């Protein structure tokens, strides 16, 4: 190979950060990643997926083929917006280094994880030659967006072409404080919904001529928040429902609004599935609506509408000992710390991958993800690369 191999994770990351790939823009990030992988012998495809009402998204699937087990590394090159750019102490797409840190949007979420995995594969190829098996990278530009034209369709696209995988690592930032803290082996399910209560608009001084929907929305919200859904299970935290907004769209203080809206998000454990938790929420709202005692002269049953947003994310737990123990041993060998096995946090694209192969998540420290001055320690880039490299050596041994 005459091309320089991408063995330096900091160089890889700087190249990726300088691509302004805010969802759904490719921003040059997939092209940069493709250029890193070609000298290693990867074949690449760049499928674009579309759907009604959502932006087109370009994705990348790269594979280095060999005889043996097939390991997938999954992630995303899209990033969230920078926010107030003037608040950054270093340009968000500059990849500047100061005080031992590289600054830039996506440094930890999750261009850093991709940069380290590419460096690990490059070092493996440089030291041992091609792996005794196959390595693929499944990279989307839609993880921070609606997640419709990204990983879920890329998996189906690859599987329709005969691709199968033995295991997968998602390089999301899983460590809360320091590298080696945590591997994610599952996630709670997630579901979002909206409640609308209809009333009758009127003058605040003449409530008998109106019907205030705020009383109804407060009653229904209270029914969702109490009692607790469960106390947690062996592998998962308790289910929690959070009301994220209550709004009447009213700019006047002397007008009773015509309707009130509340939005909520629930994270549920393996006590539930999407269907049973939806049924529980319906049941709570129906009971609260029928038992409500509103002001005299008003209808006693609260009239409401409940709608579900997007698709629910299922709860899942990975049980693959070879994958979990192999990665845990690699983390411990490099850092001296035995990682906790956790199902905490929000959702990730692992919720789609688990339908195709066992999957875990392990990446950088996530303390600055989505923040102004997102940054990663250069030492962490080297450490994560060594962890991935050690895992590759053991996996393909």
Mean pLDDT score of the chain:
95
Please state the domain count of the chain.
2
Q: Which domain holds residue 354?
A: 9-187+315-395
Is 172 annotated to bind a ligand? Reply is yes
Give yes or no: residues 364 and 278 share one domain. no
Question: b or e along 114-137 (b: 16 or more beta carbons within 10 Å of the residue's beta carbon)?
Answer: bbbbbbbbbbbbeeeebbebbbbb
* pLDDT score of 297 more than 60: no
DSSP string, 157-176: HHHHTT---SEEEE----BS
Give yes or no: residues 30 and 170 share one domain. yes
* pLDDT score of 329 more than 50: yes
Give yes or no: residues 28 and 155 share one domain. yes
Pick the catalytic residue from 8, 26, 58, 78. Answer: 78
Quick check: is 143 catalytic?
A: yes
* pLDDT score of 99 more than 90: yes
Residues 6+ apart with CB under 8 A from 261: 194, 195, 196, 197, 217, 245, 246, 247, 248, 249
Q: Give a yes or no: residue 200 inside a domain.
A: yes
Last residue of a domain, one of 313, 344, 377: 313
The neighbour count for residue 200, using CB atoms within 10 Å, is 14
Pick the catalytic residue from 143, 211, 361, 380. Answer: 143
Is 374 annotated to bind a ligand? Reply is no
Give yes or no: residues 270 and 301 share one domain. yes
Q: Give a yes or no: residue 2 inside a domain.
A: no
Model pTM?
Answer: 0.89
Is 109 annotated to bind a ligand? Reply is yes
DSSP H or E stretch at residue 264: strand 259-268
Last residue of a domain, one of 288, 313, 338: 313
**What pLDDT score was predicted for residue 291?**
75
3-state class percentages of the chain: helix first, strand second, coil last, to nearest 5: 30, 25, 45
Summarised one tens digit per residue, pLDDT across range 12-69 is 999 999 999 999 999 999 999 999 999 999 999 999 999 999 999 999 999 999 999 9
Furthest CA-CA distance within the chain: 84
Give yes or no: residues 63 and 113 share one domain. yes
295 band by pLDDT with thresholds 50, 70 and 90: low
We report the CATH number of the domain holding residue 239 as 3.30.70.360
Give yes or no: residues 181 and 231 share one domain. no
Give yes or no: residues 254 and 341 share one domain. no
Using an 8 Å Cβ cutoff, are 235 and 317 in contact?
A: yes
For the chain, what is the radius of gyration of the CA atoms?
24
Using an 8 Å Cβ cutoff, are 16 and 32 in contact?
A: yes
Cα–Cα nearest to 294, from 199, 223, 195, 194 = 199
Summarised one tens digit per residue, pLDDT across range 243-290 is 999 999 998 999 999 999 999 999 999 999 999 999 999 999 999 998
Q: Give a yes or no: residue 4 inside a domain.
A: no
The least confident of 80-94, 117-131, 192-206, 295-309 is 295-309
Is 280 annotated to bind a ligand? Reply is no
We report the CATH number of the domain holding residue 136 as 3.40.630.10
Three-state DSSP state, 22: strand
The least confident of 216-230, 290-304, 363-377 is 290-304
Give yes or no: residues 303 and 157 share one domain. no
Quick check: is 242 catalytic?
A: no
């Amino acid at each position: 190979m005459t091309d320089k191999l991408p063995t330096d994770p900091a160089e890889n990351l700087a190249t990726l950060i300088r691509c302004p790939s805010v969802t759904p823009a490719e921003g040059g990030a997939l092209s940069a990643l493709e250029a890193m992988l070609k000298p290693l012998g990867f074949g690449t495809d760049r499928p674009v997926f579309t759907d009604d009402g959502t932006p087109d998204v370009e994705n990348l699937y790269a594979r280095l083929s060999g005889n043996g087990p097939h390991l997938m590394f999954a992630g995303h090159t899209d990033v969230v917006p920078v926010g107030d750019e003037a608040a950054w102490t270093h340009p968000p797409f500059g990849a500047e280094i100061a005080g031992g840190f590289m600054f830039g949007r996506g440094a930890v979420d999750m261009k850093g994880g991709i940069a380290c995995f590419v460096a690990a594969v490059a070092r493996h190829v440089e030291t041992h030659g091609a792996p005794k098996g196959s390595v693929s990278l499944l990279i989307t530009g839609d993880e921070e967006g609606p997640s419709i034209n990204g990983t879920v369709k890329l998996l189906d696209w690859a599987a329709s072409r005969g691709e199968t995988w033995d295991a997968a690592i998602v390089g999301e930032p899983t460590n809360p404080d320091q590298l080696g803290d945590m591997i994610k082996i599952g996630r709670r399910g997630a579901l979002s919904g909206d409640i609308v209560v209809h009333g009758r608009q009127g003058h605040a001084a003449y409530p008998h001529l109106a019907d205030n929907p705020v009383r109804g929305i407060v009653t229904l919200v209270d029914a969702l928040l109490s009692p607790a859904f469960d106390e947690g299970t062996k592998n998962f935290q308790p289910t929690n429902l959070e009301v994220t907004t209550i709004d009447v769209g009213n700019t006047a203080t002397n007008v009773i609004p015509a309707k009130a809206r509340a939005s909520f998000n629930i994270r549920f454990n393996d006590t539930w599935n999407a269907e049973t938790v939806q049924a529980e929420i319906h049941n709570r709202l129906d009971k609260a609506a029928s038992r409500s005692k509103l002001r005299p002269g008003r209808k006693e049953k609260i009239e409401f509408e409940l709608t579900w947003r997007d698709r629910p994310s299922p709860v899942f737990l990975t049980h693959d000992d070879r994958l979990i123990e192999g990665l845990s041993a690699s983390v411990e060998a490099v850092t001296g710390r035995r990682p906790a096995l956790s199902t905490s946090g929000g959702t990730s694209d692992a919720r789609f991958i688990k339908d195709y192969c066992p999957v875990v998540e392990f990446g950088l420290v996530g303390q600055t993800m989505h923040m102004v001055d997102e940054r990663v320690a250069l030492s962490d880039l080297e450490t994560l690369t060594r962890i991935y490299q050690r895992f590759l050596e053991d996996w393909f041994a």
